[in-house]
Chain A
Amino acid sequence: MLSASLAFTRRLPGRAFAAACLGAAVLASASVAAQAEPRRPECIAPAQPGGGFDLTCRLTQAALQESGALKNPLRIVYMPGGVGAVAYNTIVAQRPAEGGSIVAFSGGSLLNLAQGKFGRYTVDDVRWLAAVGADYGVAVVRDDSPYQTLDDLMQALRQDPAKVVFGAGGTVGSQDWMKAALTAKAAGVDYKRMRFVAFEGGGEGITALRGNHIQAYMGDAAEAVTTLEGGAPIRILAVFHSERLPGRLADVPTAREQGYDIEWPIIRGFYLGPKVSDADYQWWVEAFEKTMGSEAFARLQAQQGLFPFSLTGPELDAYVKEQVRQYGELARSFGLVN
């Protein structure tokens, strides 16, 4: 944190002045009532309206309001770019002390962070606040596919990697690609020799799967449930989680049950700027703890297709740092970073 603040004053005198003014305003309001809620609370969604981060913000907006933890409306600000890179840089460099601004992040953000795609900032540069849910990777095929189990798919892959075309909703090196690469790796196939098609977002990929342009789609459980409920003729071969998921996917075995050690959780949550006061940080932690304990929250979470995964404060901080370390190792092992 210290190094970040030094870099920031050295480089940007104008911004420093702006930040000082903002900081003073925040401090002034904080000192009036130590445990009062931050003024003008806002949720920064590092995506376009309608994206995954927007939904995370909306879930939180609704939940904080229903539980009464937040009196003022939580407003949503859009700051798309680099799975959160733009928001991360803006918060750390330009708005580090705004106690009212929580920023959404996802497992995908952490993966990019671990690959050094967030510029010169690291996982230590913000205050990790709360995780509000998680999603899990799944392997999807067409209903009439010759691969009826994960093992069928793996056998086919081993025999001839060129026969199975994987699709996923992200670029090489993204968390969607990781699921395909980990699957190939679990089959003992070189991830560079598998065949892979990158789509933009899940919808295109699922459509290509249904049109038989690709043979296996590596998606997320929430979107798979949505697609299934839409009546699409798809089959979910495996869930990349340590245990079976509740609800509609309860019958789908985990990859581990089928003898392949693939786990891929994608958490969703929030962080705060590096110079946000302890009082504000604590206020948010308590607000989230109060909210996430409620029944209404579980309902809203399920509506968004997220699975329960609640961590706040220091526990989340430790979890995120460990996750980023693991992602970094994974990326190195795949030759994505040096």
Chain B
Amino acid sequence: MNGVLEHLSQGFGVAFTPLNLLVAAIGSFFGTIVGVLPGLGPINGVAMLIPVAFAMNLPPETALILLAAVYVGAEYGGRITSILINVPGEAASVMTTLDGYPLARQGLGSVALSLSAWASFFGSLVAFFGIVIFAPLLARWALAFGPAEYFVLMVFAFCCLTGLLGSEPVKGVLAAMIGLAISTVGVDANSGVYRFAFDSPNLSDGIDFVVVVIALFAISEMLQMLEHVVGGLSVKVPKSGRKLFNFAEFRFTLPSVVRSSLTGFGLGVLPGAGASVASAIAYANEKRITEQRDPDAKFGRGDMRGLTAPESANNASATGSFIPMLTLGVPGSGTTAVMMGALTLYNITPGPVLFDAQPQLVWGLIASLLVANVMLLIMNVPMVRVFASILSVPPWLLVPGIVCVSIIGVYSINATRFDLLLVAGIGLVGYFLRKAHMPMAPLILGVVLGNLMEQNLRRALAISDGDVVILFSSAVSVAFWVLSLGVILLPPLYRRWKKRSLLPEIAE
């Protein structure tokens, strides 16, 4: 423990140099903006800044602090458009729309923003302490996760998804299947066979996640706005006088914030699971747990716990994903993968040795994560007013702006006309799906998880030469099987039990 404190004080020594403080502030601000812009997520922000940081000859720890601040800032910024206009600013804030937007519609937009800023901060804080404690110890644990364990983890993720299916389970399952179908397009990562690519090289690597998200959450949303609005009133949210959440709301949401932070951190540490998965699982868990205890829970219709859960989780996961990157050199998310690219530019190799060889870099980065989070919380509470003022922009300017920035986002990572057209096409399909009341969250999760699930299952079977016992042979996988069963079976049992125990009371 002494060693940890010593390292931390060294880290804060690095973090509190004027240059690093300045860089953390710039990164946090820029990251928030990148997060706000739909279609631009942390990965774009980080990738954009790598050449700038490299060209400016920043020392490696400073460059890394800049990129980390952008990453965390984007997780804060992503929630803003989710809440205000139902367009997730980045993938990890898809879940935030479910209750954030209804809250804004009820006139609680500003309260939702400050409350979610706090939830994000708390998530990061939990993950920060998690990193300090676990990062030096964790190098071995992740090795337990082979393909079989990953497959079971995905099964668990899909079982959690049953909580997201909405009022018509058939449509939820269908949406998940459409998402999974999208994930099968392109080269099969195992056999190299092209699936559903129709001989087009543009589909050879499949349909990019960014394309799907922009199409479903920006383009189809804009199409749907045209149904009723000509004057543009539907973007306007009636403003409440209150900007800050009150103590009752703080206490009301605290259990969900704590639980989801821990969930998010745990999932962030797993390589490859990422912030979007973490926010989805945290939301589903919270919904399940809360609805059993509280008959007044109104998840999906503006429950504050449905807002704080994914926000705590995605920040905790983003911060947590630094652990596999720093300890193992395995990126825990797409964004940390890009950051690893930045490290190699500096000829620095992430891995367990890094903690010995470059303590000022590792601990400086870890300390700066906390510093950036404090800055972001400070920025995000008073500036809620500034962000909320996005709403007063007239729709004839806002909508083209969203379309334009969305297209820029797609173009910046896929500079082909094909992908731009694909966004338009999937956007139209998405509009019809919305009209048919299809839930979008299972669809998106299908896209994200489909490939991981399929490939890890096939890898596991290749390792065992076709023997399915491998899927049940380790403690980790058995644990996740049990959890999966629990997630599916417990709620109906619990409901039945509750009904029985409640009956006498009602009879009285």
Of A1-9, A31-39, A78-86, A314-322, the segment with at least 4 beta carbons within 8 Å of chain B is A78-86
The answer to the question of B428 belonging to the interface, with a C-beta cut-off of 8 Å to chain A, is no
The answer to the question of B463 belonging to the interface, with a C-beta cut-off of 8 Å to chain A, is yes
Q: Are A197 and B143 in contact (CB under 8 A)?
A: no
Q: Are B459 and A303 in contact (CB under 8 A)?
A: no
Q: Are B192 and A173 in contact (CB under 8 A)?
A: yes
| A contact residues around B417 at 8 Å (CB) | 94
Q: Are A229 and B190 in contact (CB under 8 A)?
A: no
Q: Are A303 and B192 in contact (CB under 8 A)?
A: no
| A contact residues around B50 at 8 Å (CB) | 49, 58
Q: Distance (Å) between the CB of B411 and the closest chain A CB?
A: 9
The answer to the question of B204 belonging to the interface, with a C-beta cut-off of 8 Å to chain A, is yes
User: 14 interchain pairs (CB within 8 A)?
Assistant: A49-B338, A50-B47, A50-B337, A58-B51, A58-B54, A77-B415, A203-B271, A207-B271, A214-B463, A226-B329, A230-B351, A230-B354, A303-B344, A303-B347
Q: Which of A82-105 contact B (CB under 8 A)?
A: 82, 85-86, 88-90, 94
Closest B residue to A231 by CB, please name it: B353
Q: Which of B116-161 contact A (CB under 8 A)?
A: 142-147
Q: Are A81 and B205 in contact (CB under 8 A)?
A: yes
Q: Distance (Å) between the CB of A299 and the closest chain B CB?
A: 9
Q: Are A230 and B350 in contact (CB under 8 A)?
A: yes
Closest B residue to A300 by CB, please name it: B345
| A contact residues around B231 at 8 Å (CB) | none
Q: Distance (Å) between the CB of A196 and the closest chain B CB?
A: 7
Q: Which of A190-223 contact B (CB under 8 A)?
A: 195-200, 203-204, 207-208, 210-211, 213-214
From B43, B143, B146, A49 is in contact (CB under 8 Å) with B43
| B contact residues around A210 at 8 Å (CB) | 143
Closest B residue to A115 by CB, please name it: B192
| B contact residues around A86 at 8 Å (CB) | 201-202, 204-205, 416, 418
Q: Are A171 and B337 in contact (CB under 8 A)?
A: no
Q: Are A58 and B147 in contact (CB under 8 A)?
A: no
From A90, A165, A171, A211, B188 is in contact (CB under 8 Å) with A171
Q: Are B204 and A61 in contact (CB under 8 A)?
A: no
Q: Distance (Å) between the CB of B468 and the closest chain A CB?
A: 16
Q: Distance (Å) between the CB of A174 and the closest chain B CB?
A: 6
Instruction: Please report the total number of B residues contacting A with Cβ < 8 Å.
Output: 57
Q: Distance (Å) between the CB of B188 and the closest chain A CB?
A: 7
A55 to B50, CA, bound (A): 11
Closest B residue to A208 by CB, please name it: B146
| A contact residues around B376 at 8 Å (CB) | none
Query: A61-B51, A171-B192 given as contacts; is B144 within 8 A of A211 (CB)?
Result: yes
Closest B residue to A89 by CB, please name it: B201
Q: Most chain-A CB neighbours within 10 Å: which of B54, B201, B328?
A: B201
From B146, B191, B350, A211 is in contact (CB under 8 Å) with B146
The answer to the question of B352 belonging to the interface, with a C-beta cut-off of 8 Å to chain A, is yes
From A81, A171, A213, A232, B351 is in contact (CB under 8 Å) with A232
The answer to the question of A156 belonging to the interface, with a C-beta cut-off of 8 Å to chain B, is no
Q: Are B331 and A198 in contact (CB under 8 A)?
A: no
| A contact residues around B338 at 8 Å (CB) | 49-50
| A contact residues around B349 at 8 Å (CB) | 226-227, 229-230
| A contact residues around B190 at 8 Å (CB) | 171-172, 198
A232 to B350, CA, bound (A): 11
The answer to the question of A25 belonging to the interface, with a C-beta cut-off of 8 Å to chain B, is no
Q: Which of B472-503 contact A (CB under 8 A)?
A: none
Q: Which of B386-425 contact A (CB under 8 A)?
A: 412-418
Besides A61-B51, A86-B202, A171-B189, 10 other CB < 8 A contacts?
A78-B414, A82-B204, A117-B204, A195-B465, A197-B459, A198-B190, A198-B462, A211-B145, A231-B353, A303-B347
| B contact residues around A88 at 8 Å (CB) | 201
A125 to B345, CA, bound (A): 33
A303 to B341, CA, bound (A): 12
The answer to the question of B340 belonging to the interface, with a C-beta cut-off of 8 Å to chain A, is yes
Q: Are A50 and B341 in contact (CB under 8 A)?
A: yes
Mask: chain B, 287-307; 1 = CB below 8 Å from A; 0 = not: 000000000000000000000
| B contact residues around A119 at 8 Å (CB) | 199, 201
The answer to the question of A305 belonging to the interface, with a C-beta cut-off of 8 Å to chain B, is yes
| A contact residues around B21 at 8 Å (CB) | none
The answer to the question of A54 belonging to the interface, with a C-beta cut-off of 8 Å to chain B, is yes
| A contact residues around B199 at 8 Å (CB) | 119
Closest A residue to B338 by CB, please name it: A50
Q: Are A49 and B352 in contact (CB under 8 A)?
A: no
Interchain residue pairs A-B with the least CB separation, the first 8: A230-B351, A49-B47, A82-B204, A171-B192, A231-B353, A50-B338, A85-B201, A213-B146
| A contact residues around B43 at 8 Å (CB) | 49
A30 to B353, CA, bound (A): 51
| B contact residues around A198 at 8 Å (CB) | 189-191, 455, 459, 462
| A contact residues around B262 at 8 Å (CB) | none
Q: Are B192 and A174 in contact (CB under 8 A)?
A: yes
Q: Which of A223-239 contact B (CB under 8 A)?
A: 226-227, 229-232
The answer to the question of B330 belonging to the interface, with a C-beta cut-off of 8 Å to chain A, is yes
Q: Which of B417-437 contact A (CB under 8 A)?
A: 417-418
The answer to the question of A22 belonging to the interface, with a C-beta cut-off of 8 Å to chain B, is no
Q: Are A48 and B54 in contact (CB under 8 A)?
A: no
| A contact residues around B142 at 8 Å (CB) | 207
Q: Which of B317-356 contact A (CB under 8 A)?
A: 328-331, 334, 337-338, 340-341, 344-347, 349-354
A197 to B349, CA, bound (A): 26
| A contact residues around B354 at 8 Å (CB) | 230
Q: Are B350 and A199 in contact (CB under 8 A)?
A: no
Q: Distance (Å) between the CB of B163 and the closest chain A CB?
A: 29
Q: Are A76 and B51 in contact (CB under 8 A)?
A: yes
From A55, A118, A230, B353 is in contact (CB under 8 Å) with A230
Query: A50-B338, A195-B462, A198-B459 given as contacts; is B413 within 8 A of A227 (CB)?
Result: no
Query: A199-B459, A226-B329 given as contacts; is B51 within 8 A of A78 (CB)?
Result: no
Q: Distance (Å) between the CB of B271 and the closest chain A CB?
A: 7
The answer to the question of A44 belonging to the interface, with a C-beta cut-off of 8 Å to chain B, is yes
Q: Distance (Å) between the CB of B119 and the closest chain A CB?
A: 29
The answer to the question of B178 belonging to the interface, with a C-beta cut-off of 8 Å to chain A, is no
A119 to B203, CA, bound (A): 12
Query: A79-B414, A171-B188, A229-B353 given as contacts; is B462 within 8 A of A196 (CB)?
Result: yes
| B contact residues around A44 at 8 Å (CB) | 415
| B contact residues around A81 at 8 Å (CB) | 201-202, 204-205, 414, 416
Q: Most chain-A CB neighbours within 10 Å: which of B50, B144, B344?
A: B344
Q: Are B416 and A304 in contact (CB under 8 A)?
A: no
The answer to the question of B187 belonging to the interface, with a C-beta cut-off of 8 Å to chain A, is yes
Q: Are A55 and B341 in contact (CB under 8 A)?
A: yes
Q: Are A305 and B416 in contact (CB under 8 A)?
A: no
| B contact residues around A58 at 8 Å (CB) | 50-51, 54, 345
| B contact residues around A204 at 8 Å (CB) | 271-272, 330
Q: Are B187 and A171 in contact (CB under 8 A)?
A: yes
| B contact residues around A177 at 8 Å (CB) | 192
A261 to B463, CA, bound (A): 27
Q: Are B146 and A203 in contact (CB under 8 A)?
A: no
Q: Distance (Å) between the CB of B70 and the closest chain A CB?
A: 13
Mask: chain B, 177-215; 1 = CB below 8 Å from A; 0 = not: 000000000011111100000010110110010000000
